[in-house]
Structure formats: structure tokens, C-alpha cells
Amino acid sequence: MTESRVHHYGFVHRVLAGAAAEFGPKMVVTPPVREVGQSLLAMWEGFGQSLTPEQQLPGDGLAGCLLEREGHRLLLVTLPEPIAPTEAYFAAVVLPPGADSCRYLTLEYSVGPADGAPGTVLGEWADQNHVNLGQGPEPTPEAFVTAVLAAVRTAEPRGWRGLFHR
């Protein structure tokens, strides 16, 4: 099985997850200084500078857009094509209506344990913990946004808080 690439994995699960936790609503409410895709590419390249040349990847396919759906404000990030488990097709920073903090969800490439068939997993970072929310939808932007909205409507963020406060 192919291993996750450091640049791809680190950007999704460390850089973007960290930015969502630290800046939250500013990412989806404050108009960006430059086009969203350019800002994401600058973050991708900045993170890449901390890696060895062998670990660095081009940001081909990296894009982002701000959306509003059902009162939720979202930053939808399209990632370079994933090739290994835990690499993501998409990520979303979501500000639910009336909330003062964001949720960060991912649609990750996965491989079936029994047959090795490719699939997807919906994941969420909450309280610095990654939570597997189960099988994800097909890897299209609209299917991901629909799954994100369903997850945000039906449950509080999981993680340590979700384990002890129900």
C-alpha cells in the first residue's frame, strides 16, 4: 500500500487543521486579502519550505472557495489528488449559524481492508484529535459539502469533549 506523502498529509492534518482551530471564523467571514486559492497556495508552499526537497509536492489542483449553505459559512478546499490513505480530496472549515467557533472536516482517500477497493472516509479534527466519522460520499465537491452539512447538523464536534460531555 502506498504511504501518505508528508507534504499532503501535513498540510491537511496539521497546517489547515491548525489554522481552523486558531483563526476559525476569520477564515470564513473576513474577506481574504487575496484570492482564496492564492492564499492556500502560499500556505502550501510555505509549509513545503519546512520539508526536504524530496518531500515537497507541487500544489497542482489546490483551490478554495467561500460558500454559504443553509446559513453555514464554509471554506471549501480542494486538495491535490490524493494517492494514499489519510490524504484528502477536500477539507472544509465550517461556521454553523450562531456559532463562535468553526468545525474542520475532511474527505479522505481510503482503501477497503478486505478487498483493497478505493473509497472515502469523512473525518473531523476536534480538540486536536482526529475522529473518523465513517464512510464518506463520492469525492465530488457537492457530495462532500452535503455530507459536511449533515455531520454539522446532527452532532456536536467529537474529540475529548464529545467523549465526556453528551
Domain extent listing, the chain: 6-159
Tell the residue number behind the cell numbers 469523512, with chain if given: 122
Contact 12, 78 (CB under 8 A): no
| pLDDT tens figures, 21-46 | 999 999 998 877 678 999 999 999 99
Please state the pTM of the whole predicted model.
Answer: 0.90
Q: Which class for 141: exposed (0-12), middle (13-18), buried (19 or more C-beta within 10 A)?
A: middle
| pLDDT tens figures, 64-116 | 999 999 999 999 999 999 999 999 999 999 999 999 999 999 999 999 888 88
Question: Residue 151 is placed in which grid cell?
Answer: 455531520
Report the b/e string of 65-78 with b at 16+ CB within 10 A. Answer: eeeeeeebbbbbbb
Confidence band of 159 (pLDDT split at 50, 70, 90): low
| Residue 134 DSSP SS3 | strand
- d(C-alpha 133, C-alpha 14), whole Å: 19
| Alpha carbon separation from 50 to 7, 9, 44, 118, 154 (Å, rounded) | 9, 14, 10, 31, 38
Confidence band of 165 (pLDDT split at 50, 70, 90): very low
Residue 138: alpha-carbon gap to chain centroid: 15
